[in-house]
């Protein structure tokens, strides 16, 4: 009876021992598998990696054009002329008569009127300051007169100068009269248009100023 009851106990103990051994093995295996495995880093020299180079496509170069200079154009300024209530300063009327040419002078400033002449046919011009008058006759005599004085002065005898060709050949002159500025004196500019000859003469200050 003891032998029969002992066998199951031994079988139980053997089974229990086998189980304990198996559990112990699993625990050891798991503990071994959970332990960190050291990683060996090779001491090889690191090869430098070149940074990627971006590919740049240049834009076409545009040539610089010269900047046009703006030029501004303005309307011409109108220079106002002197305004006269009755007439334009000095009015000279030339009349051909049987005795010769007569000059009628009207000074608008004070209404003074008078006559000069008779004179040989010719041309006249009033000075820029409205204070004198010059008359160039076809006989070669140049006359001058102050505005307001009813008489003439002989200034030049062009025939005696032997300068203008028309007088040397006995032809009639075609004169044009103009004046230079009056700083310091006025000068008479006399042009004979048949031959394109010009002469300048100083005018006396007692006549022009």
pLDDT tens series, the chain, 209 aa: 445 556 666 667 767 666 665 555 443 444 444 444 454 444 444 444 444 444 444 444 444 433 333 333 333 333 333 444 557 899 999 999 999 999 999 999 999 999 999 999 999 999 999 999 999 999 999 999 999 999 999 999 999 999 999 999 999 999 999 999 878 899 999 999 999 999 999 999 999 98
127, part of any domain: yes
2, part of any domain: no
Cα distances from 199 to residues 86, 163, 176, 182, 189, in angstroms, run 36, 9, 11, 17, 6
Give bridge partners of residue 132 from the DSSP assignment: 146
112, part of any domain: no
49, part of any domain: no
34: phi then psi, degrees, rounded to nearest 5: -85, -15
147, part of any domain: yes
194, part of any domain: yes
DSSP conformation letters of 138-203:
TTSEEEEEETT-S--EEEEEHHHHT-SHHHHTTPPP-EEEEE---SS--EEEEEETTTTEEEEEEP
Domain count for the chain = 1
- Other beta carbons within 10 Å of 196: 8
What pLDDT is recorded for position 181? 84
Cα distances from 63 to residues 67, 70, 73, in angstroms, run 12, 21, 30
173, part of any domain: yes
204, part of any domain: yes
User: Which residue in the block uniquely carries the two structure tokens 């040397």?
Assistant: 168
The sheet that has 132-137: what strands, in order across it? 122-126, 132-137, 141-146, 153-157
Taking the complete model, does pTM exceed 0.85, yes or no?
A: no
For residue 176, the enclosing domain spans: 123-208
């Amino acid at each position: 009876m003891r032998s029969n009851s002992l066998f199951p106990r031994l079988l139980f103990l053997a089974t229990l021992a086998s189980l304990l051994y198996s559990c112990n093995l699993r625990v050891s295996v798991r503990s071994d598998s959970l332990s960190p495995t050291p990683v060996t880093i090779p001491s090889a020299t690191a090869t430098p990696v070149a940074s990627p180079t971006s590919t740049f496509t240049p834009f076409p170069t545009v040539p610089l054009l010269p900047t046009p200079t703006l030029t501004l154009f303005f309307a011409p300024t109108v220079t106002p002329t002197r305004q006269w209530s009755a007439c334009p300063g000095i009015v000279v009327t030339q009349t051909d008569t049987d005795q010769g040419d007569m000059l009628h002078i009207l000074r608008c400033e004070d209404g003074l009127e008078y006559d000069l002449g008779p004179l040989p046919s010719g041309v006249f011009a009033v000075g820029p300051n409205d204070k004198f008058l010059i008359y160039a006759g076809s006989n070669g005599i140049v006359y001058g007169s102050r505005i307001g004085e009813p008489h003439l002065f002989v200034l030049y005898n062009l025939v005696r100068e032997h300068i203008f060709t028309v007088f040397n050949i006995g032809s009639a002159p075609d004169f044009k009269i103009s004046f230079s500025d009056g700083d310091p004196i006025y000068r008479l500019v006399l042009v004979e248009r048949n031959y394109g000859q010009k002469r300048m003469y100083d005018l006396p200050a007692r006549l022009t100023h």
